[in-house]
Structure 1
């Protein structure tokens, strides 16, 4: 008489992990193994028309793209940020340089304005032939140094009259000119760049009227 065979009970493996190995989300303590299996199946049934969480879809896209594409995207973003910061720094540096030059020019203008009476005294002495010897060396050195700071003389005999740079002291007409011309410089003017320190005082000659050029009838 044969003995009845003993049936071996099935081996049941229960997943008691607190973190879902696929979704990486914490599990509820009261969730049963059946619910875990059901949730696991619904979240990962891709291609069967069932909804897929956004986090899982993004993770799948990153894994599908590969680490090389992800690094390339990060590199492009970092490069764009670097270029934007560099452009802002270049604009800031140009603005600071422009402001620095403007402040320097204003300071030079203020200093040179106080030296104009000295230059006028040198010009008067030169007209009387008194700038000789050591005084001439000092005058030449001073004028060269001021020219190095950007000081320019305004007013030269024979140049066209410009009311922006010249101040007419006397006025006459002549047939020898075709436009208003500075014939005599009574006092030199000075400028630094486009900053006019003082206009030149000049004698202006204008063309004669057309009627005066016609010969008188006999």
Structure 2
């Protein structure tokens, strides 16, 4: 005889044949948390490390190149300043040497005129160069040429004796004289700038001992 319980309806929510428990067991697991995903993004890969190392090497190379360029620029600047100074000194020495050579050439030309000037002085002392005469006109032209060359005469009676400028041909003890002075000018001296063409030949008055 059949038991009436065998024909009872299954209760609501109850799975037949245990399928509910199997489905629950085979269902999807818990969803991954956001923390694990962010952690994966923060992790460094081998490529990241290699790229970082290459970037550091590139920065170091750039810094080394900049330092080398700065050193080269400084060296070139120092060399340029040195060359400018050397050129300025060269120009100065050249100008000085040029001036000396010009003065020397003028001096050589003037030395040839000194005997003529001596003759003119002697002629003037003897009254042979009276104003208006042809000889006086020639003498004036010669003296003008000498002046244009820059030649000046020196040596006058009564001035202090200077052995650097005067050539003493005789010393005359003179009462009342306290120091050596020019007593008489035998030949005037001539100079051209700093070049001594001829010292003045003089008689020197010296104190009486």
Matches within 5 A, 1:78-117: 80-117=78-115
- In structure 2, what is the Cα distance between the partners aligned to 1:193 and 1:174? 34
Higher normalized contact order (CA 8 Å, seq sep 6+, divided by chain length): 2
Any stretches of 5+ residues in structure 2 without a counterpart? 1-45
1:131 corresponds in structure 2 to 129
Per the alignment, do residues 60 and 87 of structure 1 end up closer, same or farther by CA in structure 2, a change over 3 Å counting?
closer
Establish whether residue 142 from structure 1 lines up as the match of residue 149 from structure 2: no
Residue 160 of structure 2 aligns with which residue? 160
**Counterpart residue number, 2:53:** 44
Deviation at 1:162, TM superposition (A): 1.6
What does residue 20 of structure 2 align with? none
Question: Could you list the runs of 4 or more consecutive aligned residues of structure 1 that deviate by over 4 angstroms after TM superposition?
Answer: 60-63, 72-82
SS in 1 for 2:185: strand
Supply the distance in 2 between the matched residues of 1:115 and 1:86 (Cα, whole angstroms). 44
Find the aligned partners of 2:63 and 2:200 in 1 and give their Cα distance. Answer: 81
Residue equivalent to 1:169: 169
Q: Which of the pair has more CA radius of gyration?
A: 2
Q: Give the Cα–Cα distance (whole angstroms) in 1 for the partners of residues 188 and 53 of structure 2.
A: 92
Aligned CA-pair RMSD: 3.3
Shift of the alpha carbon at 1:122?
0.3
Structure 1 residue 43: deviation in Å? Answer: 8.0
CA distance in 2, matches of 1:148, 1:178: 39
What does residue range 46-61 of structure 1 map to in structure 2 within 5 Å?
Answer: 52=57, 57-59=60-62
Q: Distance in 1 between matches of 2:118 and 2:187?
A: 8
Give the 3 Å change call, closer, same or farther, for CA 60–122 of structure 1 in structure 2. closer
- Cα separation, 2, equivalents of 1:173 and 1:87: 58
* Equivalenced residues, count: 160
CA positional deviation for 1:84: 3.3
Instruction: Supply the distance in 2 between the matched residues of 1:200 and 1:62 (Cα, whole angstroms).
Output: 73
Further displaced range: 102-111 or 138-147:
138-147
1:185 corresponds in structure 2 to: 185
- Superposition TM-score, scaled by structure 1 size: 0.61
Give 1 or 2: higher helix fraction: 2
